[in-house]
Structure 1
Amino acid sequence: MSSMRLGLRRGWIDIRHTFTSPAELWQYVFPAILLLGTAFFMRNATVPGTSFSLGARTLPSAFGMGIAMGGLVATAQMLIVDREDGTLLRAKAVPRGMTSYLIGKVVTIGGMSLISFLLQLIPGLLLVKGLDAGGTDWLTLFWLLPLGFVATLPLGAAIGSLFDDPRNMAMVMFPILGLIAISGIFYPISGFPGWLQGVAQAFPMYWLGLGMRSAFLPDSMASVEIAHSWRHLATFGVLTGWAIIGLTLAPMLLRRMAARESGSAVAARRERALTRVGR
């Protein structure tokens, strides 16, 4: 309980600090502006085979993409940066420090991802025509949002534990950007080759986008999806499967990472960082 309280307090302090830092706050505001602008300029394009706005279809998909990016990329990035600057080593040196550290990161990333989602959702409902969210649709969000976090955040922690240099973030970003491109976020994947559709459906990015579309688009738009259905049961099953994988791998990899942290390792990383700056 002490670790839980410390973790919650740490996460709240990080969130509060974000709102006092223009540079960090811009990281959340800018994507919202960019996505809303993209949806606005795509408003006259239509989903193939329908008269429905492609911009209105894209925005809910981007909501799902934002949840996945927060869980996968932001978690990995924070973990890698905290390893390099010694934050992780200091947490390790305190009794139950790693537990409170991880709880704090879950609160920070979950809270800021939710705030980022609301920054996109509220203006989107007002500015983008075609979004249709009823009572049952909000119930869909009630299970989709927490399940999306659980399916992606432990995976992000597991990925982040494998790297100790922020320059290696490109090795994390490129595969995720590739998944975004094939996961139907900006364009329906029903026109893609069958094998590419299969690859997209193996990862949570596609299912988060599909779940968000099911919550905010008219039921008639299910006709352009694979199997002409929103497939809520499959969405729940695949995201639950990834949550189990992440919750199994993350503790093992994080324990191994923590065991390898030492003062000499942090000093070596700082030396490398100073060398890069000197160049």
Structure 2
Amino acid sequence: MSWITKVRNSLGSLGKRDTPDNLWTKCPSCAEMVFTQAWEDNLSVCPRCGHHGRVGAQARFAQVLDPGYTVLPAVTVPENPLNFRDSKKYSDRLKAARAANPFPDALTAAEGAIDGHAAIVAVQDFAFMGGSMGMAVGEAFVRAAERAVERKCAFVMFTAAGGARMQEGILSLMQMPKTTVALRRLSRAGLPYIVVLTDPTTGGVTASYAMLGDVHLAEPGALIGFAGQRVIRDTIREKLPDGFQRAEYLREHGMVDQVVPRSELRATLARLLDYLTRKDVA
């Protein structure tokens, strides 16, 4: 082996050993390679095309809430109540999802403040089984709404879901009326409910608490709808318009109040809370 080959091999092994696997992040939209640190510093938004990447509950809390917030305790519900199994047991899918995520299910809530305005903030994480709505999600949503009523503060919900969790069958669909009742209690208490629609928000989540807010905000480019585009296209047998089911399209057609870039979201929420919060219920 020549000395050139020896040097090349040593340099190659050094690079493999010292280079982190997550040094770069590839934008899902424009395929631009961005330093992961720069991507995170830019709130997981591509600096080239403005694509808003998906973020989990931890990152969302840090972006929106004032320091010192408290994550609400995880809820306890029956697991695999239907003894569901497809190619894997549902219980095994839950274990795998929990091993890969910081929280035990797809919805996590925290209590704190947004620029000094008290609020309960709940976040659905698409990384946990597609953010699907099961009994744990429904129960966590209700607990968060009840906590908002106890604290007499606003409830801010960040949605991101592929819909109901099929492994829980009719029990997952029952979360739609359950969360609706919880929001009715919030409304009777005179407390605001603000929804931030993120990519993607679809299915039974869109058909329930995602579209029951006093104010609906959306992140740029977010996919928002009930049925998939292919199903709609095949049903009506017409070509769908450009941008169909995207946040900007829904804003133009009155289903979303405002499309807000992530960098402006915290300030926008604080301004809304200042408008909507009753000063006599502080």
Give the number of the structure whose residues are more often strand, by fraction. Answer: 2
TM-score bracket for this pair, using the shorter chain length: under 0.3
Greater RCO, CA 8 A, separation 6+: 1
Name the TM-score, length of structure 2 as normaliser. Answer: 0.27
Whichever of the two has the greater Rg, that structure is: 2
Name the TM-score, length of structure 1 as normaliser. Answer: 0.27
